[in-house]
């Protein structure tokens, strides 16, 4: 660790160096504010002891310059002055960014004690920075493993799906047919989970979900998704309403994912007897607004975090239905298109998820 000593008198620098010299600390000296600034550009300091009364640039001016620079603003500054101990001078020192003010003649024990405190704080900061670096690397490796695992699981899962389909078709008894149907349903759910894992890994490692832009008719895409959900949940009522032109420059596969996640979330968490209302508003020139409304109100403390990854697991009513990534992925896909996703729960005990999609492609193409 390094300490910066700034004083225009060489004898003062010599005295400070003699008091503070130790094996684990490097002392660097500057005889002017300008020389101190040059050292600050090159070295990382844990503490600066600055004389107040210096020609050209005094200690207060040097401190103000240090506080105005992102590289040096966090360096603790102790002012050393031979002036009288008055309240005004002390106030000026603290106002300019000092953590302490010492008056000459300096008590060696007080000086060493104060420096020891800041050296210990600097060591702790270094340890925390190293721990953060290690944890960040560990997290990166875990996310890489997740991505590799999700990718490699798709092969054997495809074999399970094909086997379940063949078994269901060729089964001669009802028990075998039902078992094959359950296997197929579980395999499809697992396939959805793996897709969510891969999307999460893409967001974390690749900087966002990749988007392939093409001309898309959101109305036709919505109708197809709604029909599929109606077939899967015949006991629930799903309504679709559209207004205005619904074409735009989007990724059709990703928007299908958005619609499926939003309707699936409404069916699962909404009130069982309430209608799930899907609406696409294309009356705006520059954007299309997709909304899904269902019965049930979400508490404010939950609503603030509903798009966080894995947050949905806390409120799921059914175990084993997913990883809690559906709404997070909806938000990421909306961002990748240059749009946004939000949620509103009104006083009528209903909840509306809304996705705003600009009609033109975003510049980045990633979330």
Instruction: Mention every residue, 6+ apart, whose C-beta is less than 8 A from residue 72.
Output: 40, 45, 66
pLDDT of residue 83: 63
pLDDT of residue 85: 58
- Give the CATH number of domain 137-206; options: 1.20.120, 1.20.1730, 1.10.10, 1.10.287: 1.10.287
pLDDT of residue 195: 80
> What value, to the nearest 5°, has the Cα angle with vertex 154 and ends 153 and 158?
120
Element (H, E) at 38: helix 33-42
What's the pLDDT band for 320 if we cut at 50, 70, 90?
very low
Return residue ranges of the chain for CATH 3.30.565.10: 214-358
Q: Which of 137-141, 234-238, 245-249 has the lowest mean pLDDT?
A: 137-141
pTM value is 0.58
Q: CA nearest 247: which of 218, 283, 284?
A: 218
Above pLDDT 90, what percent of the chain? 28
> What value, to the nearest 5°, has the Cα angle with vertex 338 and ends 206 and 149?
25
CA distance linking residue 277 with residue 267, whole number of Å:
10
Residues 161-170: pLDDT tens digits? 888 888 888 8
CATH fold of 214-358, please?
Heat Shock Protein 90 (3.30.565)
Return residue ranges of the chain for CATH 1.10.287: 137-206
CA distance linking residue 295 with residue 83, whole number of Å:
73
Q: In the chain, which ranges are E strands?
A: 2-6, 26-30, 47-51, 77-81, 100-103, 214-217, 238-243, 247-250, 276-281, 287-295, 340-345, 350-358
- Give the CATH number of domain 2-106; options: 3.20.20.70, 3.40.50.2300, 3.40.50.1820, 3.90.180.10: 3.40.50.2300
Q: CA nearest 252: which of 290, 288, 221?
A: 221
Return residue ranges of the chain for CATH 3.40.50.2300: 2-106
Q: Which of 32-41, 136-145, 233-242 has the lowest mean pLDDT?
A: 136-145
Give how far the C-alpha of residue 177 lies from the chain's centroid of Cα atoms, to the nearest Å.
46
Average pLDDT for the chain: 84
Q: What is the CA radius of gyration of the chain?
A: 32
52 within 8 A of 59, measured Cβ to Cβ? yes
Q: Counting beta carbons within 10 angstroms of the beta carbon of residue 280, is it exposed (0 to 12), middle (13 to 18) or buried (19 or more)?
A: buried
Residues 248-278: pLDDT tens digits? 999 998 999 899 889 988 888 888 778 899 9
Give the residue-averaged pLDDT of 336-358: 88
Tell me: pLDDT of 280 over 90: yes
Tell me: pLDDT of 366 over 60: no
CA distance linking residue 88 with residue 355, whole number of Å:
58
The string of DSSP letters for 317-362 reads SSTTS--S-HHHHHHHHHHHTT-EEEEEE-TTSEEEEEEEEESSPP
């Amino acid at each position: 660790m390094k300490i910066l000593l700034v004083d225009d008198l060489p004898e003062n620098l010599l005295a400070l160096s003699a008091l503070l010299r130790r094996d684990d600390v490097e002392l660097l000296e500057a005889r002017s504010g300008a020389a101190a600034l040059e050292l600050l550009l090159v070295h990382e300091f844990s503490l600066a002891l600055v004389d107040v009364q210096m020609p050209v640039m005094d200690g207060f001016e040097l401190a103000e310059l240090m506080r105005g620079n992102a590289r040096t603003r966090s360096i603790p500054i102790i002012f050393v002055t031979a002036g009288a101990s008055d309240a005004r001078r002390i106030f000026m020192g603290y106002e300019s960014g000092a953590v302490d003010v010492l008056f000459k003649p300096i008590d060696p024990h007080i000086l060493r004690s104060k420096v020891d405190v800041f050296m210990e704080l600097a060591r702790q900061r270094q340890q925390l920075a190293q721990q953060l670096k290690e944890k960040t690397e560990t997290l990166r490796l875990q996310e890489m493993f997740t991505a590799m695992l999700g990718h490699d699981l798709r092969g054997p899962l495809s074999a399970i799906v094909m086997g379940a389909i063949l078994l269901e078709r060729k089964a001669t008894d009802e028990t075998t047919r039902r078992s094959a149907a359950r296997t197929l349903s579980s395999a499809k759910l697992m396939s959805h989970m793996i897709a969510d894992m891969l999307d999460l890994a893409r967001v974390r490692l690749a900087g966002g979900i990749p988007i392939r832009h093409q001309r898309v008719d959101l109305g036709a895409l919505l109708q197809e998704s709604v029909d599929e959900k109606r077939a899967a949940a015949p006991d629930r009522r799903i309504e679709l309403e559209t207004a205005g032109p619904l074409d735009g420059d989007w990724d059709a596969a990703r928007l299908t994912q958005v619609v499926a996640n939003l309707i699936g979330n409404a069916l699962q968490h909404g009130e069982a007897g309430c209608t799930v209302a899907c609406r696409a508003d294309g009356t705006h020139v520059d954007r299309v607004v997709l909304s899904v409304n269902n019965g049930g109100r979400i508490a404010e403390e939950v609503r603030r975090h509903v798009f966080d990854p894995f947050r949905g697991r806390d409120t799921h009513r059914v175990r084993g239905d997913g990883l809690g990534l559906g709404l997070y992925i909806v938000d990421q896909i909306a961002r990748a298109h240059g749009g946004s996703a939000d949620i509103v729960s009104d006083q009528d005990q209903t909840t509306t998820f809304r996705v705003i999609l600009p009609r033109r492609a975003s510049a980045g193409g990633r979330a």
